Chain A
Amino acid sequence: GESVGLHLPTLSVQEGDNSIINCAYSNSASDYFIWYKQESGKGPQFIIDIRSNMDKRQGQRVTVLLNKTVKHLSLQIAATQPGDSAVYFCAENTGNTPLVFGKGTRLSVIA
């Protein structure tokens, strides 16, 4: 889940296992949700998005699930690889408003 304070939640996963990263979003009016991946020293990179009229969207090895009832978003990464090690952020907005970001989760892949 998302962090409070200075410590980033960390998820450690064995290489080849599936990863699930969770996010609780704040605005029930949000209609667009994005997952970003940020590697050390780089800017956030788009992974996958979903609109509020959907509850699931799949990409290559990634799936995003949206539960509007409890304002919960998750990112599933199949067959996690060392290159997936990064900080993952969820973000939300509505209309043309700026994105609001969660505080991130650090994914560490154990080889």
Chain B
Amino acid sequence: DVKVTQSSRYLVKRTGEKVFLECVQDMDHENMFWYRQDPGLGLRLIYFSYDVKMKEKGDIPEGYSVSREKKERFSLILESASTNQTSMYLCASGTQLAFFGQGTRLTVV
């Protein structure tokens, strides 16, 4: 079975903190993705990566950055967390078919 693991299920951070969300996949996929999910807005793409050290902006990259130092790991970084970044964050990996992690519910207070 494909496994995509996100480091935290729930996270509470303070405004202005730097936040790291980690994601690891075990299927040797080249493509990895970060989405955020908000009620009524569906899944919106933040960043994606097609290979190690490569990154591409998605639809809503502002306020975020990413790191892909190893093929199996894709990190999402909130440089200075703000309350409007309170959301469910979903990591995925795969080619055309993407497999998702269990999600990280981040609350910024």
* Chain A interface residues toward B at CB < 8 A: 3, 5-8, 32, 34, 36, 41-46, 49, 89, 91, 93, 95-96, 98-104
Residues of B within 8 A of A8 (CB): 39-40
Q: Across the interface, name the chain B residue whose C-beta is closest to A45.
A: B100
Residues of A within 8 A of B58 (CB): 98
Number of chain B residues close to chain A: CB under 8 A: 25
Contacts A93-B96, A96-B96 known; 18 new A-B pairs at CB < 8 A: A5-B40, A32-B96, A36-B100, A42-B103, A43-B4, A43-B103, A44-B90, A89-B43, A95-B96, A96-B31, A96-B95, A98-B45, A98-B48, A98-B58, A99-B92, A101-B42, A101-B43, A103-B40
Contact B42 A103 (CB under 8 A): yes
Residues of A within 8 A of B45 (CB): 98, 100
Q: What string of 1s and 0s marks CB contacts (under 8 Å) between B87-101 and chain A?
A: 000101001111111
**Which of B31, B33, B39, B103 is A6 in contact with, Cβ under 8 Å?**
B39
Residues of A within 8 A of B64 (CB): none
Contact A99 B41 (CB under 8 A): no
Residues of A within 8 A of B4 (CB): 43
Residues of A within 8 A of B35 (CB): 101
Given contact pairs A44-B90, A46-B99, A6 touches B42 in the complex (Cβ within 8 A)? no
Contact A43 B90 (CB under 8 A): yes
Residues of A within 8 A of B43 (CB): 44, 89, 101
Question: How far does the alpha carbon of A102 sit from the alpha carbon of B98 in the complex, in Å?
Answer: 15
Q: How far is the CB of B4 from chain A (nearest CB, A)?
A: 8
Give the residues from 55 to 109 in chain B that come closer than 8 angstroms, CB to CB, to chain A.
58, 90, 92, 95-103, 105
Given contact pairs A42-B102, A98-B33, A3 touches B40 in the complex (Cβ within 8 A)? yes
Question: How far does the alpha carbon of A3 sit from the alpha carbon of B42 in the complex, in Å?
Answer: 9
Contact A96 B50 (CB under 8 A): yes
Residues of B within 8 A of A49 (CB): 97
